[in-house]
Amino acid sequence: MISIVSKPDTHEKLEILSSDAQYDLACACGSTKDEHRRRGKDGKWIYPVTLPNGGTSTLFKTLVSNVCVNDCKYCPLRAEKDVRRCTLSVEETAKVFLDYLNRRKVFGLFLSSGILGTPDATMDRLNAIAKILRSKYSYRGYIHLKIIPGSSDAAIEQAISLATAVSLNIETPGAKRLAKVSSRKDYIRDIIEPIKLISRLTSRGSKYSGVKQTTQFIVGAAGESDAEIVKYMGGLYDRLNMHRVYFSAYQQNLGDGSMSPKKSGAERSADIFTREHRLYQVDFLLRKYGFKDSDIIFDDNGKLSLADDPKQVWAKRHPEMFPININKASKCSLLKIPGLGLVTVKRILECRRTAKIRRIEDIGKVGVRLEKASRYIDF
């Protein structure tokens, strides 16, 4: 049986839908503490977003509806689950968001939804909310719209025309993996082709080139290896104009009871969250540190090390690269050194312009990271 909330008011709907929105983490998790979602004083989830100037602010995030016709086994809101169902109207959603915005509690809006009837019917509702904010209320700020798998090209283009950013979750690395968690989605038709369309519409020089595209993997739900995910990540960044890839660790208590450890290879809770963190670290290496997906090292089962971060593993595998001369090395080489991050490398390059670096203390206060780095450099 599916329980239906009969005529709940807007506040009751928001309580339900904003809580359920926690399960979709795209644009809500990251490799640093400032990028992780957290609960606000009113109990709502707060979702950080990085601003163009490098600071962070928070998004108002809610599902428009938690009704869903899909059967994704990792999702606690799938069709056969007995949960309280409700849907916000277009005007309700717009007014609630504007109330938060006017009270300066949020920076922008993130709209997602379960599939209410058909993908296009759901996209029509999401797009209508964005359109009324843009036209009726003259809102020009940040809107992130979730693209529903299986949406038509026209619905997707309309969303892009209204949004600051869009996302369609890739979910798994490949069709065979998706088939393990959903029988109702076609991987190529419903996910890959729309992502390709978004990439074309938002490519450099295009009409919507300023719109960012993100996506998300559900880690551990389909028995995939880290190597499979990283290979797909490389393709998403290199060929499909992806702005950012996110990861959500599959948690058994939120998923389908039939996905037992024997059937899914589900990991212990501590391991799955460490695995998620390692994938975020790999993502940072690919986006910021000049690494390629072919540089990432896995064990014989295609898994990332849980004991060491991926840059440390790479350094151990390539002893011939070290020590690196800190006074002569390029920025790219410095970023390969375990313990050195973007800020520290920038400081090293600035210091080198005026004086030779003679000891590790010339870089900054020696903590755990600089102590690690000192084993890989000379002066």
Lowest mean pLDDT among 47-51, 59-63, 190-194, 273-277: 47-51
For residues 95 and 136, is the Cβ–Cβ distance under 8 A? no
Whether residue 34 has pLDDT greater than 50 = no
Quick one: 60 and 103 in the same domain?
Answer: yes
**Is 295 contained in some domain?**
no
Is residue 291 pLDDT above 50, yes or no? yes
Q: Which residue has the tokens 């809500």?
A: 28
4 - beta bridge partners?
A: 85
Same domain (yes/no): 166, 128:
yes
Number of folded domains that form the chain:
2
Note whether residue 306 is domain-resident: no
Query: Over 50: is that where the pLDDT of 51 sits?
Result: no
Are residue 131 and residue 86 in the same domain, yes or no? yes
Same domain, 274 and 340: no
Instruction: Name the DSSP letter for residue 78.
Output: S
pLDDT band (50, 70, 90) for residue 249? confident
CATH number at residue 362: 1.10.150
**What are the tokens at 64?**
């428009």
With a pLDDT cut of 90, the percent of the chain lying above it is: 61
pLDDT attached to residue 262: 44
Q: Is residue 304 part of a domain?
A: no
Residues 268 and 348 in one domain: no
Residue 105 vs residue 152, higher pLDDT: 152
| 147 closest CA partner among 211, 189, 188, 191 | 191
Burial of 249 (0-12, 13-18, 19+ CB in 10 A): buried
Same domain, 212 and 333: no
Which distant-in-sequence residues (6+ apart) come within 8 Å of 184 by Cβ?
A: 69, 70, 71
Where residue 237 falls (left for φ over 0; alpha for ψ -120 to 50; beta otherwise) is alpha
Most confident among 156-160, 219-223, 239-243, 347-351 (mean pLDDT): 156-160
Q: Please, what sign has the CA dihedral across residues 171, 174, 178, 180?
A: negative
Task: Quote the CA–CA distance of 48 and 247 in Å, as a whole number.
Answer: 15
What is the arrangement of strands in the sheet containing 56-63, beginning at the earlier edge strand? 38-39, 45-50, 56-63, 108-112, 142-146, 165-167, 212-219, 244-249
Distance CA 58, CA 51 (A): 10
The whole-number pLDDT of residue 4 equals 41
Q: Are residues 42 and 183 in the same domain?
A: yes
Residues 261 and 117 in one domain: yes
The answer to whether residue 276 is domain-embedded is yes
**What does the block give as tokens for 31?**
């490799």
Does residue 312 sit within a domain?
no
Do 272 and 363 belong to one domain?
A: no
Q: For 326, what's the count of Cα atoms within 13 Å in the CB-facing half-sphere? A: 28
* Averaged pLDDT, 331-350: 94
37 with 80, same domain: the answer is yes
Handedness of CA 361, 339, 50, 29 (dihedral sign): negative
Distance separating alpha carbons of residues 236 and 40, to the nearest angstrom: 33
| Residue 313 included in any domain | no
> What does the pLDDT average to over 147-168?
97
What integer pLDDT is reported at residue 258 of this predicted model?
Answer: 46
| pLDDT attached to residue 272 | 87
pLDDT of residue 11: 65
Q: In which residue are the tokens 């996506």 written?
A: 215
Domain that holds residue 358: 318-378
**Domain-located, residue 362:** yes
Say how many C-beta atoms besides its own lie within 10 A of residue 188's C-beta.
11
What percentage of residues in the chain have a pLDDT greater than 70? Answer: 80
Helix axes 269-288 and 310-317, enclosed angle (nearest 10): 70
What is the tens place of the pLDDT at every residue in 82-120?
777 778 889 989 998 998 899 888 889 999 998 889 999
Provide the pLDDT for residue 152. Answer: 97
Q: What is the pLDDT of residues 159-208, one digit of tens each?
A: 999 999 999 999 999 999 999 999 999 999 999 999 999 999 999 999 99
Q: Do 36 and 142 fall into the same domain? A: yes
Indicate whether 98 and 245 sit together in one domain.
yes
Q: What is the pLDDT of residue 13?
A: 64
- What's the rounded mean pLDDT across residues 324-331? 94
Sign of CA dihedral 341, 344, 349, 350: positive
3-state secondary structure of 62: strand
Report the chain's mean pLDDT, rounded to a whole number: 84
Task: Name residues whose C-beta falls within 8 Å of residue 373's C-beta, 6 or more positions apart in sequence.
Answer: 337, 338, 339, 340, 344, 360
Checking if the pLDDT of 253 tops 80, the result is: no
